[in-house]
Amino acid sequence: MHKRRVLVVEDDAAIRRGIVDALHFEGYDTVDVGDGDEGYRRALNGAFDLLLLDLVLPGMSGLEILREVRNACTTLPVVILTARGEESDRVRGLKLGADDYVVKPFSVAELLARVQAVLRRSPERPAEVSKLKLPEGSVNLDRREGKFRDGEKFTLSEREVELLRYLAGHAGRAISRDEIMARVWNIDPRGINSRTIDMHVVRLREKLRDDPSEPRIILTVRGQGYMYAVENR
């Protein structure tokens, strides 16, 4: 069985050792480095399943590494490690493509839970979605417009396009409201009313002629979120 390989980039030796020990105990294979320049080189040249990345590092910063990794290795899941109070950096990290973050000081249980969750939901990053087939028509996401077979056309807002693109890019997987807020709209979901997601889904279903009582395109998965269910191969 393939052992998941995790690259740990953290300059605090005690924290780094604790992370590595915890990952080893859970069966992960690890490589750990203590500075940004070496972390950047390893991230681009190593075959890793996950990158655990501190933001404050000697040499290249964590945000600089994240930017370069996302440009070169779009499928590599990244969890950033931040100090309490660095909310602006967490937001920047999510905008640059981080999959999740853990705030120091953190427990081993929390860290492992987030690592497992990211690996479970991100086996690979989907290809960019630009055109979608619908039961009654099609959508061009780049143009933000769609057309039904009866000739009726419709337009989508930028936020509706972002939501539909993300759901379709992860077709067949239930996407939580928190994930939508964090990954699609770059909003920290803690303390935010998730009903705004529901309202956008309602409007999107209306535009796509997706009957809310028996949806065929965007399904509601009880207790989990929403799932795009149309085959577009």
Residue 220 in contact with residue 204, Cβ under 8 Å? no
CA distance 16 to 39: 13
Whose CA is closest to 114, among 230, 6, 231? 6
Predicted pLDDT of residue 232? 61
End-to-end CA distance of the chain: 30
Predicted pLDDT of residue 190? 61
Predicted pLDDT of residue 121? 74
Q: Torsions phi, psi of 30, nearest 5?
A: -130, 155
Q: Which residues contact 83 (CB under 8 A, 6 or more apart)?
A: 56, 103, 104
Whose CA is closest to 104, among 139, 76, 138, 62? 62
| b/e burial code for range 110-145 (CB count within 10 A of at least 16 → b) | ebbebbeebbebbeebeeebeebebebbebebeeee
CA distance 65 to 37: 8
pLDDT per residue rounded down to tens, the chain (233 residues):
457 889 999 999 999 999 999 999 999 999 999 999 999 888 877 678 899 999 999 999 999 999 888 876 666 899 999 886 677 878 888 888 888 999 888 999 999 999 998 888 765 555 567 899 999 999 999 999 999 999 999 999 999 998 999 899 888 888 888 778 766 776 666 666 778 889 999 999 999 999 999 999 999 998 888 999 987 65
Q: Which residues contact 173 (CB under 8 A, 6 or more apart)?
A: 121, 227
Predicted pLDDT of residue 172? 84
Residue 103 in contact with residue 54, Cβ under 8 Å? no
Tokens of 176: 């939580």
Predicted pLDDT of residue 64? 92
Predicted pLDDT of residue 34? 95
Predicted pLDDT of residue 1? 46
The domains found in the chain, sorted by start residue, are 5-121 (3.40.50.2300), 131-228 (1.10.10.10)
Residue 181 in contact with residue 194, Cβ under 8 Å? yes
3-59 residue pLDDT tens: 788 999 999 999 999 999 999 999 999 999 999 999 988 887 767 889 999 999 999
CA distance 67 to 181: 20
Report field, pTM of the whole predicted structure over 0.85? no
Tokens of 174: 């239930």
Please calculate the CA angle 8-79-107 and round it to the nearest 5 degrees.
80
